[in-house]
C-alpha cells in the first residue's frame, strides 16, 4: 500500500542544521506505512521560546520540550487509527532541544530526529504511552520502524533518557 502524503514544513527556528523535507517525508512515511493510505500534516520547527509557550498553554508545563503532537480533532465516533481520513494534525519540534538531547544522550543527531518524528506521528494517529502497556506497545513499534530505517533502537539507554527528562521537569 502506498501512502499519499501532504507534508507542510514550516521553519521558525534559527538553527538551519535540521533534516531536509525529503528526510522528514521518509520518516513520516515509515511511521504511517501499513497504518494509513493518505495523510496530511504540518511539521513546524521552532525555537525553545515557542516550544515553551505552546507546552505551557496546551500541556501545562512551563518548559520547552522536544516534540509536541497536536492531533486533528475528529468528529465523534471516528477512530483516529481509521485510515479513511487524511488530516492527522501538527508536530512542533524544538530544533535546539533535539540537538541538545542527541548530544547529551550520545546519539547521532539524525537518529534522534528520526525517532522524534516517528514518535510524534504515532501520537497523531492515536498511539500513546500513558500506561505501561501502551508504552511497551509504542516503544516496540518505534523501535521496529526505526530499525527499518537503519537506525539503532531509540530506547537502548533508557536511564540516560529518564535522567535527561528529569532535568527538564
Dump pLDDT digits (tens) for 98-152. 999 999 999 999 999 999 999 999 999 989 888 888 888 999 999 999 999 999 9
Task: Please check the confidence at residue 73 and state whether its pLDDT lies above 90.
Answer: no
| pLDDT score of 161 | 46
| pLDDT score of 81 | 62
Domain of residue 145, residue span: 4-168
Domain count, the chain: 1
CA distances from 158 to 51, 67, 93, 162 (A): 24, 18, 21, 6
Q: Cα–Cα distance between 31 and 117 in angstroms, integer?
A: 8
Task: Please check the confidence at residue 166 and state whether its pLDDT lies above 50.
Answer: no
Task: Please check the confidence at residue 56 and state whether its pLDDT lies above 70.
Answer: yes
Residues flagged as binding site: 119, 123, 129
pLDDT interval class at 168 (50, 70, 90): very low
% residues pLDDT > 70 (the chain): 88
DSSP state of 66: S
The neighbouring-strand residues paired with 42 are 8, 90
The CATH number covering residue 125 comes to: 3.40.390.30
| pLDDT score of 160 | 45
Reported residue count of the chain is 169
Residues flagged as binding site for Zn(2+): 119, 123, 129
Amino acid at each position: 500500500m502506498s501512502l499519499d502524503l501532504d507534508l507542510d514544513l514550516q521553519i521558525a527556528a534559527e538553527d538551519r542544521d535540521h533534516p531536509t523535507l525529503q528526510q522528514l517525508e521518509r520518516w513520516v512515511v515509515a511511521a504511517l506505512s501499513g497504518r494509513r493510505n493518505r495523510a496530511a500534516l504540518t511539521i513546524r520547527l521552532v525555537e525553545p521560546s515557542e516550544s515553551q509557550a505552546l507546552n505551557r498553554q496546551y500541556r501545562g508545563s512551563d518548559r520547552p520540550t522536544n516534540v509536541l503532537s497536536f492531533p486533528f480533532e475528529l468528529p465523534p465516533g471516528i477512530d483516529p487509527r481509521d485510515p479513511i481520513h487524511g488530516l492527522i494534525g501538527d508536530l512542533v519540534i524544538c530544533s535546539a532541544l533535539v540537538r541538545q538531547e542527541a548530544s547529551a544522550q550520545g546519539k547521532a543527531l539524525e537518529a534522534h530526529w528520526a525517532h522524534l518524528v516517528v514518535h510524534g506521528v504515532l501520537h497523531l494517529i492515536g498511539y500513546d504511552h500513558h500506561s505501561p502497556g501502551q508504552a511497551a506497545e509504542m516503544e516496540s513499534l518505534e523501535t521496529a520502524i526505526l530499525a527499518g530505517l537503519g537506525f539503532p533502537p531509540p530506547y537502548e539507554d533508557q536511564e540516560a533518557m529518564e535522567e535527561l527528562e528529569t532535568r527538564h521537569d
